[in-house]
Structure 1
């Protein structure tokens, strides 16, 4: 059976399929895997441990030695993504209904999905339309993997009185320490970076399944359509913002637009945030589903949007100016 090949053909399949499968099990046979010992520890109760290990592996991929134009491009993309996500998230908190949702969306899902990006999709796009310094910029973009930028935005909102409570210093450290440990190990030893890179991909279906075991099918139905809306917002708002900022600076705008996606690892962010601050716990489950839906939506839609932007530049005779000779 070609299980992995099948999952690879599904956008975000390694994350979405285990999540939905576990949600189905939890809805119709909730006690099936709650039998104690290793089975329950891995498939039901292991999400926090698995996410922590994933964050360590992801942190090892952050290269602090990146400098020059690559640093500038990566920092610009990172800043645009975060700023747009924070502004939309702030609006969502200000105008959320009594149920804590804005247009059916959990504000925490908006920030988590829109500030994160699919690194594989980014590399695929810049591999075709970008240059070597565009590819190297990803070492900076790796900072949006995990909950750090979401926590920064939520802490600012807490200080402004828009959300309940702030993250304590201890909460920040407890969430970020695995990332820092991974980053230190990955930068001290390139072989360690390669070693942890293998674990990063492997852990995704396991923590996704464990997260799914805390979700019932009703929440999937309730969150799915809103999650698609979140994906549309991520592509067209963050992608378009990146496009015009890069164009204004004089860089390749296609590279700027290529960050308009949500990565599968973002599905872990709501749970990590809720663990650090229980004030976000009530909407963590529906936020997880909405982020998952955004992942699938952006994986399908962003390449189509990029194709549209490329054709638009071609008609204006400007594409060659930005692509030039790849180095």
Structure 2
């Protein structure tokens, strides 16, 4: 059987197929791999560790002489994601009815979902289509984890004020550190850079499957049509905006589109905001299930959207990784 070759015929197949397989198993037979020991450690609980190792390997490919582009791309991704998410959320607030909803969607859920991206999906996509500097850009993009940028968006148009304690610099450092360790190793020893570079591609299907084991298709049903619409908007609006901005800047546009998702930790954002401002208590529960539905929707839709963009010629593979030179 030519499993690897078959997966590679599908755009993004080394990430998409394992992720959807994991999601199917988690939805219909969630306990089949949760039997403890090595099986559960590898197939269920490994996503965080494998992504961290992937980032370390990616960091090792970065030459310190070329670190500027990684910071530039990460900052651009962060800005585009936030501007689009905050802008759509503001429009929803302006058009919301007396119930506080816009077409059944909670504006708070829109902002939380659209300003917070799934780092695992981003890493998996750029692991196949990007360079080392594209992967390293995630260390900046990780700043949108948690409710901080949602709170900033709400404060800017007067929905609430700043509240201390909703953003932890430790969380950001914990994402950045594996990249830094890999970068140090790779710049101290060329052989170590080569050694770690050979391992990164192998990790993608394994952490993609583990990410899938955290997805339950039932969340789409619970969040209803409104949550699905938020997920679709997240992928099409933020993903397309990133694609267009990166193409305009002569960067790989697929990397720009790779941030068109909602992170799982965004599910906790509405309740965190409600804890900081009681005015949001009435909509916090509904917003939570809508963000959860958006998380699942984007986890399915974004890889398919990336495959569509690639099939339409949106990606041209470079012969050499400039960050490794």
Output the TM-score relative to the length of structure 1. Answer: 0.65
> Which string of whole-angstrom CA distances, capped at 9 and with x for unpartnered residues, describes residues 247-296 of structure 1?
00000000000111111111011111111111111111011000000011
Partners of 1:112 and 1:269 within 8 A in 2 = yes
- CA distance, structure 1, for counterparts of residue 82 and residue 172 of structure 2: 21
Q: Give how far 1:174 is off.
A: 2.3
Matched, 1:262 2:262: yes
Gaps of 5+ in 1: 19-57, 192-203, 209-216
Whether 1:324 aligns to 2:319 is yes
Q: Which runs of 5+ in 2 are unaligned?
A: 1-17, 32-51, 182-210
Task: Report what 2:296 is aligned to.
Answer: 296
State the aligned residue count.
Answer: 239
Tell me the equivalent position of 2:76.
Answer: 76
Partner residue in 1 for 2:236: 236
Structure-1 separation of matches of 2:220 and 2:120: 26
When residues 150 and 304 of structure 1 are mapped into structure 2, their CA distance, relative to the original with a 3 A threshold, is same
Distance 1:11 1:260, change over 3 A: farther
1:1-327 to 2 correspondences below 5 Å:
9-10=22-23, 67-158=67-158, 163=159, 166-168=160-162, 171=163, 173-176=164-167, 179-183=168-172, 223-313=223-313, 319-320=316-317, 323-326=318-321, 327=324
Distance 1:187 1:75, change over 3 A: closer
Instruction: Report the counterpart of residue 45 of structure 1 in structure 2.
Output: none
Cα distance change of structure 1 residues 281 and 137 upon mapping to structure 2, 3 Å threshold: same
Q: Which residue of 2 aligns with 1:54?
A: none
Deviation per CA, 1:282-311: give whole Å up to 9, x if none. Answer: 111011000000011111111111011001
CA contact under 8 A between 2:146 and 2:265: conserved in structure 1?
yes
